[in-house]
Amino acid sequence: MNSNDIRTEVVVIGAGPGGYVAAIRLAQLGKKVVLVDEDKLGGICLNYGCIPSKAMISASGLFNKIKQSSKIGIKTGKVTIDFSKMQEWKDGIVSKLNKGTEFLCKKNNVTIVKGTAVFENSNRLKISNGKNSSYIDFKKAIIATGSKPVELPNFKFDDKKIISSRGALYLKEIPENLVVIGGGYIGLEIGTIYAKLGSKVSIVEMEDQILPGFDKNVVNVIQKNLEKLDVNIYVNAKADKIENNKIAIDSKEKGKVLLDADKVLVAVGRHPNTKNLGLENTKVKLNEKEFVDVDKNLMTDDENIYAIGDVSVGPMLAHKASMQGKIAAGIIAGEKVSYDNFVVPAVVFTDPEIASVGLSEDEAKDKGIKVKTGKFPFSVSSRAMTREETQGFVKVIANEADDKIIGVQIVGSDASDLISEASLAIKMNSTIDDLALTIHPHPTLSESLMEASEATMGKAIHILKLKL
């Protein structure tokens, strides 16, 4: 070994929301741990994804609300945007959180190594940093290398005109015309940001609806709001090519269309970062989509190597990665835990927000589960009215056999916060009666969960029971 080589008990590759959490938890459990990343701590989520996008969602949302405030008696003059100041504010939040992550790692005695990691074998990594290289010998390793945007053959990223979600959050100017290829959550979140900031936004989606996989009644709420923002939506459509500032698309409903495009955001999915890791030098196996196969203990086919987050099978969500990081750390440290039957909520930060956990009504029926459902609209919520945010609803899905809550869907303001109560309810095997008999403060949006549970039993107070 040379002077730069390291021996450690555990090495974590990737410092995103899965990796740095795993490293800190390992250190708390008494393990000697090294955290390796070629970029900033916090990974894509903190530096180029979750955090900067939510900052811009908040800023653009505030701008949009101010413009509409006259309806509640607040009159303003012309409201303008200093986009460079907005970006500076967003960057400040990211910087503060990045430094905080580094502080926590160091204070927990996590050794941080900058560089690109490649497995030499099941107990050794080669770390490259420019022209320099070193080695880390380890007993256990956790792969937490995350994912990257999928590229399209006719729309290769050039970071100028054709951009990824990362590039879209760091533009110098608000584009006059933005075309978004992909109507999933990333495309809709960023498209909504720029629509509120004044861009003419067009969304091109190959499936027959935006947000493929979501229930139509949820999608309808979002689509209506996008149309109010003057967003053009093309479904059953394929982007063909780009020439100068025009994109040619082929739409089933509207035929061939040319769209103005100063910027083109390609947001058609993400791919796990499993290439160029030297996994062929280990026993780690990948599935047909190049995700790492793991068991309920997050162990790969190599007993020395674990995998968490976007590289492992399951939803690509930061909070999933963080929980898996804690579980993997506990297992390596000898705790009797496993990542089994965990309830993972999903959130889309559109306007209004979407949040869901557990099974949808259709998914439950596909599994042969007879269900009962209850829905409470925010249009009759007193708190929603006082906030001028009455779009959407809460829907509770319960197993007809035992009244256990098996799914909740929320579309509306603050859905991202409201869903946690539903997640806990499912995790604790709660019944609709449990949720209905939990006293909720008034007036709040959270009452809607109670009301939706009561509606499931035909006992809602603030909506009429429909006669079938």
Its domain, for residue 446, covers 352-456
Tokens of 468: 């079938």
Across 111-235, where does the E strand assignment appear? 111-114, 116-121, 124-129, 132-143, 147-149, 162-163, 177-181, 200-204, 232-234
223 contacts: CB under 8 Å, gap ≥ 6: 210, 233
pTM: 0.94
| One domain for residues 280 and 414 | no
1 occurs within a structural domain? no
CATH number of the domain encompassing residue 172: 3.50.50.60
| One domain for residues 209 and 255 | yes
Question: Of the residues 271, 440, 442, 462, which is catalytic?
Answer: 442
Of 266, 298, 322, the last residue of a domain is 266
User: What's the number of domains the chain is made of?
Assistant: 3
| One domain for residues 358 and 425 | yes
Concerning whether 319 is annotated as a catalytic residue, the answer is no
The pLDDT assigned to 2 comes to 63
71 occurs within a structural domain? yes
290 occurs within a structural domain? yes
| One domain for residues 181 and 227 | yes
345 occurs within a structural domain? no
Q: Are 231 and 191 in contact (CB under 8 A)?
A: yes
User: Where does 169-205 have alpha helices with state H?
Assistant: 185-197
CATH number of the domain encompassing residue 435: 3.30.390.30
122 occurs within a structural domain? yes
Give the separation between CA 260 and CA 196, rounded to whole angstroms.
18
Tokens of 167: 């590039």
341 occurs within a structural domain? no
375 occurs within a structural domain? yes
Of 266, 295, 312, the last residue of a domain is 266
List, as own/partner pairs, every contact residues 333-342 make where C-beta atoms lie below 8 angstroms and the sequence separation is at least 24, other chains included: 333/26, 333/29, 333/30, 333/31, 335/29, 338/296, 338/297, 339/296, 339/297, 339/298, 340/296, 342/427
| One domain for residues 139 and 279 | yes
Tokens of 340: 């089994």
| One domain for residues 127 and 256 | no
Label residue 229 exposed, middle or buried (CB < 10 Å: 0-12, 13-18, 19+).
middle
467 occurs within a structural domain? no
| One domain for residues 180 and 238 | yes
The pLDDT assigned to 466 comes to 53
Give the separation between CA 97 and CA 105, rounded to whole angstroms.
12
The pLDDT assigned to 468 comes to 36
The one-digit pLDDT tens for each residue of the chain (468 residues) are: 565 799 999 999 999 999 999 999 999 999 999 999 999 999 999 999 999 999 999 999 999 999 999 999 999 989 999 999 999 999 999 999 999 999 999 999 999 999 999 999 999 999 999 888 999 999 999 999 999 999 999 999 998 999 999 999 999 999 999 999 999 999 999 999 999 999 999 999 999 999 999 999 999 999 999 999 999 999 999 999 998 889 999 999 889 999 999 999 999 999 999 999 999 999 999 999 999 999 999 999 999 999 999 999 989 999 999 999 999 999 999 999 999 878 999 999 999 999 999 999 999 999 999 999 999 999 999 999 999 999 999 999 999 999 999 999 999 999 999 999 999 999 999 999 999 999 999 999 999 999 999 999 999 899 987 543
Compute the 3-state secondary structure of the chain and give helix, strand, coil in percent, each to the nearest 5.
35, 25, 40
| One domain for residues 289 and 377 | no
Q: Output the CA torsion sign for 327, 331, 337, 340.
A: positive
- For the chain, what's the residue count? 468
| One domain for residues 133 and 18 | yes
| One domain for residues 167 and 241 | yes
| One domain for residues 215 and 191 | yes
Of 250, 266, 282, the last residue of a domain is 266
Q: Are 174 and 198 in contact (CB under 8 A)?
A: yes
| One domain for residues 260 and 281 | no
